[in-house]
Amino acid sequence: MTAPLDLLDLDTLLTDEERDVRDLARRVADDRVRPQIADWYERGTVPVRDLAAEFGKLGLLGMHLEGYGCAGASAVQYGLACMELEAADSGVRSLVSVQGSLAMYAIWKYGSEEQKQQWLPGMAAGELIGCFGLTEPDHGSDPANMSTRARRDGDDWVLTGGKMWITNAPVADVAVIWARAEEGVYGFAVPTGTPGFAAREIKHKMSLRASSTGEITLDEVRLPESARLPEARGLKAPLSCLTEARFGIIWGALGAARDCLHTALEYSTTREQFGRPIGGFQLTQAKLADMTVELQKGFLLALHLGRRRDEAGSLRPEQVSVGKLNNVREAITIARQCRTILGGNGISGEYPVMRHANNLESVLTYEGTSEIHQLVIGQALTGLNAFAG
Ligand SMILES: Cc1cc2nc3c(=O)[nH]c(=O)nc-3n(C[C@H](O)[C@H](O)[C@H](O)COP(=O)(O)OP(=O)(O)OC[C@H]3O[C@@H](n4cnc5c(N)ncnc54)[C@H](O)[C@@H]3O)c2cc1C
């Protein structure tokens, strides 16, 4: 947290090593992302390869994984890095989440030794970019009904179908693709140069504009058995990857909210109306107070989940759902409220607030919508599955 928003001195709950990682991520976000982010956002572009190379040098890619060139950081350290990157922009944090928690984690957890050696060191260094294709045009919240098929043909596999809304896909070197075979859902590490694989950039996004998002088509993509992730059996494999990425979002969303609140607080003490700073009006102070309370509560929640994960080695899906549901929902509420404090300037790209608010619309939807997380929590509470009605 950045004083004066850290009313509860939550910074004191962090170790020196954790603060070091946080400061490193904050520095790279400040130096490398902030000066250019408004321009990237407006133009709807982002230099994924340059950023990945810089993040890789600093050990920020797949940082919570062990071996293969990964930093082996704790869950809390990883969360703090996500928070600082997303304080600059959710799109930049998405780049890191998809690379580390989705693509690298899938290969690290479910891949063969040969696949790990082939992909992970280059991905950790930011020399190779990965993406993770689960969502399809007709199947988002309900991936169990996916249409993409994996068919055996002699010793090979042939993939047919399509994936939608895939972060990093247009620039990726390797795509982790989930497809239904006769035996169930399988994952494949697909080199994107394989004939029949194509990724088209999705244009006209009003959110997450500083992120590369693609639609993948798989037209009879022929792969050897060695491309299949041997340890991934069934839908629980991709869902476990989502649990990884959702953990980073719990922290990341707080970064976006903090940046909005920081901006609104500063603005409220310098902008004058009726002869006094707008921060001197009780209604503005009520907004600032409520937002600060929520931000600090969100941080405590993230830190609790991070400490649990570091101690227990993993979190239950419903625990991650509590964090993602609350922290993204509160972050977007804070961003919208901060927008009101900036008045007309709130809609300008000169300030980061509207950009964060727009980005958080994507964050609210991806990695499980709020409704899906409510259903996960509801099922944990009642033992009843309400997903299908
Ligand atoms: C910018 C961006 C980047 C993304 N990156 C990736 C990526 O890298 N890889 C990837 O695989 N996917 C990615 N996604 C896809 C994302 O995970 C999906 O958009 C998300 O899971 C929702 O699916 P959908 O868009 O098909 O919406 P739908 O599933 O059609 O949902 C529409 C609405 O219906 C609600 N709904 C659905 N089912 C139920 C139910 N049972 N009960 C109550 N309400 C329900 C939802 O909550 C939502 O409000 C990305 C999305 C965006 C926007």
Q: What is the pLDDT along the chain (389 residues), one digit of tens a residue?
A: 556 899 999 999 999 999 999 999 999 999 999 999 999 999 999 999 999 999 999 999 999 999 999 999 999 999 999 999 999 999 999 999 999 999 999 999 999 999 999 999 999 999 999 999 999 999 999 999 999 999 999 999 999 999 999 999 999 999 999 999 999 999 999 999 999 999 999 999 999 999 999 999 999 999 999 999 999 999 999 999 999 999 999 999 999 999 999 999 999 999 999 999 999 999 999 999 999 999 999 999 999 999 999 999 999 999 999 999 999 999 999 999 999 999 999 999 999 999 999 999 999 999 999 999 999 999 999 999 999 86
What is 50-85 written as a DSSP string? HHHHHHHHTT-TTTTS-STT-----HHHHHHHHHHH
Cα of 45 vs centre of ligand 1, distance in Å, is 23
As a whole number of angstroms, the distance between CA 307 and CA 299 comes to: 12
CB of 266 closer than 6 A to ligand 1?
Answer: no
Residue with tokens 């697909």: 190
CB of 334 closer than 6 A to ligand 1?
Answer: no
Cα of 336 vs centre of ligand 1, distance in Å, is 22
Size of the chain, expressed as the number of residues it contains? 389
CB of 387 closer than 6 A to ligand 1?
Answer: yes
**137 Cα nearest atom in ligand 1:** 26
38: left (phi over 0), alpha (psi -120 to 50) or beta: alpha
Residue 267: CA atoms inside 13 Å, Cβ hemisphere, count? Answer: 21
Catalytic residue among 18, 84, 136, 367: 367
**163 Cα nearest atom in ligand 1:** 11
* Other CB atoms within 10 Å distance of the CB of residue 242: 21
Strands, E, within the chain: which ranges? Answer: 130-133, 149-153, 156-167, 174-181, 184-191, 197-201, 213-224, 272-273, 276-277
Tell if the pTM clears 0.85, that is, is over it.
Answer: yes
Cα of 144 vs centre of ligand 1, distance in Å, is 13
Cα of 194 vs centre of ligand 1, distance in Å, is 27
Does the annotation mark 367 as catalytic?
Answer: yes
Greatest CA separation for the chain: 80
Q: Environment class of residue 248 by beta-carbon count within 10 Å: exposed (0-12), middle (13-18) or buried (19+)?
A: buried
CB of 165 closer than 6 A to ligand 1?
Answer: yes
The dihedral built from the CA positions of residue 102, 103, 108 and 109, taken in this order, carries a sign that is positive
CB of 385 closer than 6 A to ligand 1?
Answer: no
CB of 90 closer than 6 A to ligand 1?
Answer: no
Q: What is the dihedral of CA 223, 225, 226, 229, to 10 degrees?
A: 100
Whose alpha carbon is nearest atom 6 of ligand 1?
A: 166
